[in-house]
Structure 1
Amino acid sequence: MADSKDLWKLGATETAARTTAGEITAEAAVGAAIDRMDAVNPRLNAVVENLSDEARDRARALDKARASGAPCGPLHGVPVTIKINVDQKGHASSNGVVALKDLIAPGDAPIVENLQAAGAVVIGRTNTPEFSFRADTDNPLFGRTHNPWGDHISSGGSTGGGGAAVMAGIGALAHGNDIGGSLRFPSAANGAVTVKPGLGRVPAYNPSQKAERGMLAQAMSVQGLITREARDLHVSMPSMIAPDPRDPFHTPLPWRGAALEGPITVGFTKETYEFELHPEVSRALDAARDALTDAGYRVVEVEPPLLREAGMDGYRALMGEVLALMGPDIRAHGSDTIQAIFDEYFRQFTPFEGTELLQMMAKRSHYARAWSLFLEEYPLVLAPFLPQPFFAPDRDTQGPEGVREVLGSALWSYAMNFMGLPAACVPARLAELTEGPQPINVQIVARRWREDLAVDACIAIEDRIGRMCDPLWDRMG
């Protein structure tokens, strides 16, 4: 039997296998994660609502049910965290906004229901920036979330709390969402692994919502998970995609698609457009390419179509919708910091409005079609996520150049949201920079509905590079 003091180190795959087999109890697995949370969260401020009491009760109930012969779910006894912008019954969906601190959810969002139906146990709710619209996590309600690698790196956003928590050992899975990079930014910041699902893959709905989201928000935002080892996505995501009638546009497809014939061709690019590619990012891309080649993939250099155009048009369109639908709330309830950041967003991504906005929403199909044709030949594309190592905390508060580094350079991120394509993010190098150690992640884009192929590629890279949590834990103690 595993040493109880080390159970927090187990990933979701191993935790579920051991609890199902009876080697460890759900109570022990959950208790170890809670103890780890108690030990490291005071410094990190990743979990801003501690649910340890109800988590222990649920874990004991799972153990009792198993002992009585009830079947175990695929995530039996796996400790998880939920981001504070998604509904969990009886808890506030504050979205990092002081004015929403008492917005108590009347029911669970589909992803919370799906996690719990699979046997997972929620141990806490994690931090996000105001309105979940920064790539850095800080807000007036709960304060800053710190990166477990050190304060020289932002924890990322908007799922900064989830990314920091899972890498520090607070739960094996962290829920998050992504409208422009909010699963992948914190994964890159903390050295975690994620796959941003494609449009319609994971059902989404908040019972507390007072109105439907804008059409672009519906088309670009997805729910997902952040993990510290790639294999955990294969054990967890099939439960996340279970259908829910509250999301009428959910696409009920199996997690695994048909096997592809022959070696899978991977398009490889280091293109970062007008942004300079940092040598450490270049080395990470080379390491990922070599890992995929050694694993049997056919890797060829490519020139991806219309990436920059899709990213810029997509984000300017999103800013048009945000200005119209969220702008009044940001002005009424946002801090001076978030208002200044949005002012710079609007300057650098001039919002499309009126007829032009409608035209750009229509043009989304043009970009998505070009990429669908491209991905027929190259089912996967290995590319940068950011052109430089992850930025320091509050970089996006430092005027035009700060926002340009944080968001302007992230073309490979939000272009995928606009086109609704799956995109995984996986660490491929640990750089020793002057400021301190820093993980460097790369991105793997996949054909529509083929998140499984992206995760397989992440596993091949991780098998070569190793899990980034191991050197992190050596440093944290």
Structure 2
Amino acid sequence: MTDKDIWQLSATEIVARTKDGALTAEEAVSAAINRMERINPTLNAVVDSCAADALERARELDKARAAGVPCGPLHGVPVTIKVNVDQKGYATTNGVVAFKDLIAPEDAPVVANLQKAGAVVIGRTNTPEFSFRADTDNPLYGRTHNPWGRHISPGGSSGGAGAGVMAGVGALAHGNDIGGSLRFPAAANGAVTVKPGLGRVPAWNPSQKVERGMLAQSMSVQGLITRTAEDLHLSMPSLIEPDPRDPFHVPLPWRGEPLDGPIKVAFTKNTYGYDLHPEVEAALDTAREALVDAGYQVDEIEPPDVFDCGRTGYRALMGEVWTLMKDDIDAYGSQTIRDIFAVYFQEFPPFTGAELVQMMAKRSHYARAWALFTQEYPLVLTPFLPQPFFKPDRDTEGAEGVHEVLGCAVYSYAMNFVGLPAACVPSRLAALPRGPQPINVQIVARRWREDLAVDAATAIEARVGRMSDALWQRLD
């Protein structure tokens, strides 16, 4: 097999070959590194190469297999890790110049779990300053570019992860999501992801000096961005393995009990007053048709109020950020990120004092409404954004820019606030005047049922095809 034949393989395909001996871990990792070294100079998705360590680890995996040691479920799969998560011996910069020498003393749970499963880390991916933009640029590493073209932002904050994996830099890309940071890059680049629900993936950074705020703890989750939905079924069971350093992790299996069919899906095009672009509407219709053809019962019905939930949740999060992070942003952030946060605080006026505590308490009200709704409708098909993905630096263009980037993204951060799983999958490639770009939809699932969301994403992908196939025709 040539390098191209190898780096284009999905994680599922790699594992099938490394386990039966048709491909060595070293070959899989070498092909991914060569791809990274070829294309990353134009993307700037990976900002810290782990190539030397990766090749050494791959050779160790091959020796262990030859000696009869059982292979892990991700044996030889090349992966990337976002630079805001600890990987022993590497800097956890979070895109901030002042943190460029913050070397991690140990691996975070997600890194440990991936490596325990046999995955090999080939590089660390870019994020905006403090991982708090839906675009990816910072003074430490510079801008990440979308492989579809520079007319589209790569998304954020896991923008390096999304751009890299879609361009063939590794088969799996780690990311995290407090308001959309897995799903924004998936939507921008045409990748697939599932934002896990609260408590599903163990999380903690050994380098951190203080504990995170309560909303950061309850809204932020760790996950993976992939090129195909089946790779989520392959890899997420390893990611959710318990780690005692996260005392609130819930050790449930990846697959839940089968539901009596047909599974009911609530379907909505409601964008709460924001204009629904025809291409987004077409993507939603395609996703609905795919699910119907796959045997789901899809009913057009309104779920609980996403706008009120999302705006309340993000205003509460901004209240926590104002209280716990603003001093660091002012001290260590660039003028660009300080200006963006100033507009965030206008778009989402922070709750403070007693009102912040009251709105944090109200979180259970919204979560209860969704819990009751998903008893009848275990899945909910929604827009992700009402418009095609925005251009780079749109969030630097004042109130109008931030409103387009985050203000209208209520379907995104509402799911963080209530802690529900939400998959994001491409269902259309739009031909727009500024150039082609994928359009993703969102699939919300009942609590603890990430597997159902990924099953639905798989059904949509079966109708549409893998977006990476269309992308690679343009890149190569």
Q: TM-score, normalised by structure 2?
A: 1.00
AA in 1 matched with 2:387: Q
Q: Which amino acid aligns with 2:84?
A: N
Q: Distance in 2 between matches of 1:108 and 1:59?
A: 18
Q: Which residue of 2 aligns with 1:229?
A: 228
How many Å apart are 1:17 and its aligned residue? Answer: 1.0
* Paired residue type of 1:104: I
Correspondence for 2:390: 391
Tell me which residue corresponds to 1:41: 40
Give the secondary-structure state (helix, strand or coil) at the position aligned to 1:382.
strand
Which SS does the other structure have where 1:381 is aligned? Answer: strand
The question of 1:301 aligning with 2:300 is answered yes
1:166 aligns to 2:132 (yes or no): no
Aligned to 1:378: 377
Trace 1:14-413 onto structure 2 (pairs within 5 A): 14-413=13-412
- The offset of 1:238, in angstroms, is 0.1
Corresponding residue SS for 2:430: strand
Q: Given residue 77 of structure 1, which amino acid in structure 2 is its aligned partner? A: G
SS class of match (2:209) = coil
Specify the SS of the correspondent of 1:170.
Answer: coil
Task: Read off the aligned partner of 1:234 and give its amino acid letter.
Answer: H
SS of 2:80 mapped into structure 1:
strand
Q: SS of the residue aligned with 1:201?
A: coil
- Please give the alpha-carbon distance, in whole angstroms, between the structure 1 residues aligned to 2:399 and 2:326: 20
Measure, in 1, the Cα distance between the counterparts of 2:448 and 2:261.
20
Q: Secondary structure at the match of 2:374?
A: helix
Q: d(CA) in 1 for partners of 2:335 and 2:274?
A: 29
Q: Deviations over 1:275-324 (max 9, x none)?
A: 10000000000000000000000000011112111101000000000000
The structural deviation recorded for 1:53 is: 0.8
Q: Secondary structure at the match of 2:459?
A: helix
2-side partners of 1:36 and 1:89: how far apart?
A: 24
| Cα displacement string for residues 407-434 of structure 1 (whole angstroms, at most 9, x for unaligned residues) | 0010000000000000000000000100
- Residue identity opposite 1:284 in structure 2: A
- Whichever residue aligns with residue 251 of structure 1, its letter is V
Partner Cα distance (1:414, 1:5) in 2: 37
* Cα offset, 1:87, TM superposition: 0.1
> What's the offset of the Cα at 1:4?
4.0
Deviation at 1:28, TM superposition (A): 0.3
User: How far is the alpha carbon of 1:3 from its aligned partner?
Assistant: 3.7
RMSD, matched Cα: 0.5
Q: How far apart, CA to CA, are the structure 1 residues paired with 2:29 and 2:267? A: 41
SS at match of 2:265: strand
Sequence identity of aligned pairs in percent?
Answer: 74
Read off the aligned partner of 2:369 and give its amino acid letter: A
Report deviation, 1:368.
Answer: 0.2
Which residue is 1:454 aligned to? 453
Partners of 2:326 and 2:99 in 1: how far apart?
16
The one-letter amino acid of 1:90's match is G
SS at 2:362 equivalent: helix
Structure 1 residue 5 displacement after superposition: 3.4
Structure 2 residue runs without a partner (length 5+): none
Letter in 2 for 1:408: G
Q: C-alpha distance in 2, partners of 1:415/1:97?
A: 27
- Alignment-mate amino acid for residue 290 of structure 1: E
Q: Distance in 2 between matches of 1:293 and 1:117?
A: 39
Report the Cα distance in structure 2 between the residues aligned to 1:267 and 1:96, rounded to whole angstroms: 38
Structure 1 spans left out of the alignment, 5+ residues: none
**2:424 maps to 1:425:** yes
Distance 2:69 2:278 in 1: 54
SS at match of 1:243: coil
Measure the CA separation in 1 of the matches of 2:307 and 2:225: 26
Q: Distance in 2 between matches of 1:196 and 1:135?
A: 15
1:204 partner SS: coil
CA deviation vs aligned residue, 1:219-278 (integer Å, no higher than 9, x gap):
000000000000000000000000000000000000000000020000000011021000
Distance 1:115 1:175 in 2: 9
Amino acid at match of 2:407: G
Provide the TM-score with structure 1 as the length reference: 0.99
Letter of the 2:428 counterpart: R
1:74-100 per-residue CA deviation (whole Å, 9 max, x = no partner) reads 000000000000000010000000000
Matched, 1:415 2:414: yes
Alpha carbons of structure 1 residues 207 and 376: separation in structure 2 relative to 1, 3 Å:
same
Cα distance in 2 for residues equivalent to 1:332 and 1:253: 41
Letter in 2 for 1:149: W
Letter in 2 for 1:144: R
Which amino acid is the alignment partner of residue 410 of structure 2?
L
AA at the equivalent of 1:388:
Q
* Distance of 1:367 and 1:444 partners within structure 2: 18
1:436 Cα deviation from its structure 2 partner: 0.5
Measure, in 2, the Cα distance between the counterparts of 1:397 and 1:227. Answer: 28
CA drift of 1:174 comes to 0.2
Q: Deviations over 1:113-150 (max 9, x none)?
A: 00000000000000000000000000000000000000
Cα separation, 1, equivalents of 2:15 and 2:323: 45
Q: Distance in 2 between matches of 1:326 and 1:415?
A: 21
Distance (whole Å) between structure 1 residues aligned to residue 241 and residue 303 of structure 2: 32
